[in-house]
Amino acid sequence: MRKKGLKVIILTASYGNGHLQVANSLYQECLNKGLTDVKICNLYAESHPFISEVTENLYTKSFTYGKQFYKLFYYGTDIIQNKKMLRWYYQYGLKRLTSLIQSEEPDILINTFPINAVPEFRRRTGIVIPTFNIITDYCLHSLWLHDEIDKYYVASNELKAKIHSRGIPVSKVVVSGIPIRHAFSQSYDKQALYEKYHISPEKDLILLIAGAHGVLKNIKDVCETLLLSTDHQLAVVCGKNLSLRNELAQLYNSYSGRFHCFGYLERIDELYKLANVMITKPGGITLTEATATGTPLILYKPVPGQEKENALFFSEKGAALIAKNHDELVLHINTLLQSKQKQSSLQSSIEKLYLPASQEVIMTDILKESENIAKINYSSTIKSPKKKLGS
């Protein structure tokens, strides 16, 4: 298999920002390794833009009043053992994928979302393109699993064991960690960061990550509760949610010097490094970023599905606290910030979950595995020619 001329397609979906962030991290690592023919494809959005937009909105609403709907979908599809019942999902995006493969002729396919059109393509055509799944959470959902996936890359030994218990050989699962931006592992000057963000080093800092869609409910109420009941500083990151940022603007005057509000931050890692405690939703990428910086976590009102399962994993590891309401949130913050020992314990536990250079580990292994698959495929093709595309 040619290396410099390899064509790589990274398939993703925009249900939350995490899958896209992982795709971008892997894309950059491909470039670092000298691979220049690399493409990111949001397969579902390109295949069925209307359906994709509707389902993405439903996903966003799962954080508020759509919880029960998403809970039913997530846990319902997870327990389905009969593969024939999931054929509808396997075919979703298959037509666009087939067209993409015809036009691009990729050597490697990487999934950062459970897109089963990829292994379904192999099953139908017999055409073997090395295919890899990067699982972007700390929990397992059965939609990630398929007999025609060549290798899985996961965040923990526990997740590897769960996959093995579903009949996948351990040799097909690599504990690599979840790829995040290099900035999270870079050294920094803490005093310079305090000055950059106008944050006082004299008071503890609570960092609240609101999410791209303001998925933390009643954020203004949460902020007022924290500012009234504590004497700490509070920094809120609103992302690209301009309406939320405008809503919080009036808190500046009431809590001058203690309240900081930010929009989208390219270097959000710098605030992670200043925070004494961070309040967030337990998405796989945010959790992994916190493992890199050792930031103590409070996971606020995780919704049923991967959020809840991620939160339970971190809680069981002693790497985060879970708050189900305002009162628990304030209690956990006070407990943490009044006890350096508790902070240190959480920090130590979360740092143990960090696996550095994940994208490098993943891409190095993918290139090696792809070469082995190509050799085997070449040998078997000589003996028994593959079906033609579309036959």
Question: Residue 380: is its pLDDT beyond 80?
Answer: no
Confidence of residue 49 (pLDDT cuts 50, 70, 90): low
Q: Who contacts 79 (Cβ-Cβ below 8 Å, separation ≥6)?
A: 142
Confidence of residue 71 (pLDDT cuts 50, 70, 90): confident
Which has more confidence, 72 or 228? 228
Confidence of residue 381 (pLDDT cuts 50, 70, 90): low
The candidate with the shortest Cα–Cα distance to 262, out of 305, 191, 209, is: 209
**What's residue 365's pLDDT?**
98
Which of 60-74, 194-208, 289-303, 342-356 has the weakest average pLDDT? 60-74
Instruction: Report the pLDDT averaged over residues 285-300.
Output: 96
> pLDDT for 88-124, tens place per residue?
677 778 888 999 999 999 999 999 998 888 888 998 8
**What's residue 386's pLDDT?**
47
On average, the pLDDT of the chain sits at 86
Residue 320 phi/psi, 5° resolution? -165, 160
The helix (run of H) or strand (run of E) holding residue 319 is none
Confidence of residue 1 (pLDDT cuts 50, 70, 90): very low
Looking at the chain, the whole-number percentage of residues with pLDDT higher than 70 is 84
Looking at the chain, the whole-number percentage of residues with pLDDT higher than 90 is 62
Confidence of residue 145 (pLDDT cuts 50, 70, 90): very high
Catalogue the long-range contacts made by 90-93 (C-beta closer than 8 Å, 24 or more residues apart).
Answer: 90/116, 90/117, 90/119, 90/120, 91/117, 91/120, 92/44, 92/47, 92/48, 92/117, 93/43, 93/44, 93/47, 93/48, 93/117
> pLDDT for 146-202, tens place per residue?
889 999 999 999 999 999 999 999 999 999 999 999 999 999 999 999 999 999 999
- Could you give the domains of the chain? 7-177+356-383 (3.40.50.2000), 186-351 (3.40.50.2000)
**What's residue 212's pLDDT?**
55
**Rounded distance, CA 287 to CA 209, Å?**
12
